[in-house]
Chains A and B, each alone.
Chain A
Amino acid sequence: MKPFQYIRPESLEEAGAYLASERSVKLLGGGNTLLLQLKSGEESPDILLDIKHLPGFKDVRYHHNQGLKLGAAVNLQHLVMGLEIRRHYPLLHQTAQKLASPQIRNRATIGGTLAWASPVSELAAPMLCYDAVCHTWSPRGRREIPLAEFYLGDFKTALADDEIITHVHLPAFPNRTYGVYLRQTVRHDGRRMIAAAAVLAYRKQQALTHWRVAVLGVDNRPKRIPEAEAVLEGTPGEDDVQQALHIVQENIHPEDTDYARADYRRVALNALVRQGVMQVIQQLQSMRS
Chain B
Amino acid sequence: MKHEIKVNINGQLRELTVLSHQTLLEVIREDLGLTGAKYGCSTGECGACSVLMNGEVVNSCMVLAPEADGATIITVEGLSDDEELHPLQKSFIDHHGVQCGYCAPGMLISAKALLNRTSRPHEEEIREALVGNLCRCGAYADIIKSIQVASRARR
CB pair B20–A48 under 8 Å, yes or no, is yes
CB pair A101–B56 under 8 Å, yes or no, is no
- Note all chain B residues with C-beta closer than 8 A to A4: 1, 20-21
Chain B binding surface, main DSSP class: mixed
Q: Known: A3-B20, A31-B63, A35-B62. Is A102-B132 also a contact (CB below 8 A)?
A: yes
CB pair A106–B21 under 8 Å, yes or no, is no
B132: nearest chain-A partner, CB-CB: A101
Asked whether B91 is an interface residue with its Cβ less than 8 Å from the other chain, the reply is no
- Note all chain B residues with C-beta closer than 8 A to A31: 62-64, 67
- Note all chain A residues with C-beta closer than 8 A to B133: 101
Q: Restricting to A95-154, which residues have a CB under 8 Å from any CB of B? A: 97, 100-104, 106-107
CB pair A101–B58 under 8 Å, yes or no, is no
A188: nearest chain-B partner, CB-CB: B131
**Chain B CB within 10 Å, residue with most, of A38, A48, A50, A103:** A103
CB pair A107–B20 under 8 Å, yes or no, is no
Interface string of B104-142 (1 = CB under 8 A from A): 000000100100000000000000110111000000000
Q: Known: A101-B132, A189-B132. Is A6-B64 also a contact (CB below 8 A)?
A: yes
CB pair B1–A6 under 8 Å, yes or no, is yes
Interface string of A157-190 (1 = CB under 8 A from B): 0000000000000000000000000000000110
Stretch from B27-35, B40-48, B76-84, B144-152 forming part of the interface with A: B40-48
CB pair A3–B1 under 8 Å, yes or no, is yes
CB pair B44–A32 under 8 Å, yes or no, is yes
Q: Known: A38-B21, A103-B44. Is A6-B57 also a contact (CB below 8 A)?
A: no
Tell which of A6, A39, A106 touches B56, judged by Cβ atoms closer than 8 Å. Answer: A106
Tell which of B62, B66, B67, B128 touches A32, judged by Cβ atoms closer than 8 Å. Answer: B62
CB pair B131–A3 under 8 Å, yes or no, is no
CB pair B57–A103 under 8 Å, yes or no, is yes
Question: Chain B's nearest CB lies how many Å from the CB of A183?
Answer: 14
Question: Chain B's nearest CB lies how many Å from the CB of A77?
Answer: 7
**Chain B CB within 10 Å, residue with most, of A6, A28, A100:** A6
B21: nearest chain-A partner, CB-CB: A1
**Chain B CB within 10 Å, residue with most, of A2, A28, A36, A107:** A107
Tell which of B20, B43, B128, B132 touches A6, judged by Cβ atoms closer than 8 Å. Answer: B20
- Note all chain A residues with C-beta closer than 8 A to B44: 32, 35-36, 103-104
Chain A binding surface, main DSSP class: mixed
Question: Chain B's nearest CB lies how many Å from the CB of A57?
Answer: 14
Query: Which A residues contact B (CB, under 8 angstroms)?
Result: 1-6, 28, 31-32, 35-36, 38-39, 48, 50, 77, 97, 100-104, 106-107, 188-189, 191
Q: A31-B64, A103-B44, A103-B50 are in contact. List 14 more A-B contacts (CB 8 A).
A: A3-B20, A5-B20, A6-B3, A6-B64, A35-B23, A35-B44, A38-B21, A48-B20, A102-B110, A103-B110, A103-B132, A106-B53, A106-B56, A189-B132
Asked whether B153 is an interface residue with its Cβ less than 8 Å from the other chain, the reply is no
Q: How far is it, in angstroms, between the C-alpha of A191 and the C-alpha of B134 when the chains are bound?
A: 14
Interface string of B68-90 (1 = CB under 8 A from A): 00000000000000000000000
- Note all chain B residues with C-beta closer than 8 A to A103: 44, 47, 50, 57-59, 62, 110, 132
A30: nearest chain-B partner, CB-CB: B62
Q: How far is it, in angstroms, between the C-alpha of A129 and the C-alpha of B60 when the chains are bound?
A: 34
CB pair A107–B58 under 8 Å, yes or no, is yes
- Note all chain A residues with C-beta closer than 8 A to B1: 3-6
CB pair A101–B64 under 8 Å, yes or no, is no
Question: Chain B's nearest CB lies how many Å from the CB of A42?
Answer: 13
- Note all chain A residues with C-beta closer than 8 A to B64: 6, 28, 31, 35, 48
Asked whether B19 is an interface residue with its Cβ less than 8 Å from the other chain, the reply is yes
- Note all chain A residues with C-beta closer than 8 A to B57: 102-103, 106
Q: How far is it, in angstroms, between the C-alpha of A152 and the C-alpha of B90 when the chains are bound?
A: 53
A38: nearest chain-B partner, CB-CB: B21
Question: Chain A's nearest CB lies how many Å from the CB of B44?
Answer: 6
